[in-house]
Amino acid sequence: MATIVQFQKNLQKLLNRDALELILFEEIKRYENVFINLQKKQLNQGESNDGELFGTYKLSTQNWARNYTPKKPKIAGQPYNFEDTGDLFKGMELRTDGKSAEFWSTDSKTDELIVKYDGLFGLRDDNLKEVISKVILPAFMIQIRQVLGL
């Protein structure tokens, strides 16, 4: 247990916004896979960052896709799943700069997809709230307690 003087010194560290942001973004980066898995799930369901469907496959797309066997089938009437070659998902990353975080993919088609599909990257509010409340906030609190020596 820290002494009162040490506790005050540690508390001073937390009064600095930059220090708090550093702790926060370290935790976001630590749990990057949780964010990425939610992003992939959303895209697999064909949903934008506001929960809207990007569209559904047509019979012509289903027939065309049979000729080259995409990673995930394109079935008429089903939402877009964004798993054609699998490169979009394989290249998925969460870029952070200490002030913000954004999804990206190293897939060569990423720029084209972003232009074509507004809201491609980013979590729906419910997914974001869930990961923040159940993962990031508890981890952040543990780090704060460690800084305070509690």
Q: pLDDT averaged over consecutive 10-residue blocks of the chain (150 residues)? A: 69 76 92 97 96 96 88 94 94 93 96 96 96 94 82
Is residue 10 situated within a structural domain? yes
Confidence (pTM) = 0.86
**DSSP state, 119?**
T
pLDDT in the model for residue 143: 87
Q: What pLDDT was estimated at residue 2?
A: 59
Residue 142: domain span = 4-51+94-148
**pLDDT of amino acid 1:** 54
Give yes or no for a contact between 57 and 80, defined as CB atoms under 8 angstroms apart: yes
Q: Output the pLDDT for position 43.
A: 97
Whether 85 is in a domain gets the answer: no
With 0-12 / 13-18 / 19 or more C-beta atoms within 10 angstroms meaning exposed / middle / buried, residue 117 is: middle
Q: Which residue has the tokens 């609190």?
A: 141
Q: Looking at residue 12, what is its pLDDT? A: 72
Residue 78 falls inside a structural domain: no
Assess if residue 88 is contained within a domain.
no
How high is the pLDDT of residue 148? 76
Residue 8's CB is within 10 A of a number of other CB atoms, namely 11
Q: Please report whether residue 57 resides in a domain.
A: no
* Residue 58 maps to a domain: no
Please state, as a whole number, how many other Cβ atoms lie within 10 Å of the Cβ of residue 12. Answer: 10
Domain count, the chain: 1
Domain for residue 104, yes or no? yes
80 falls within a domain: no
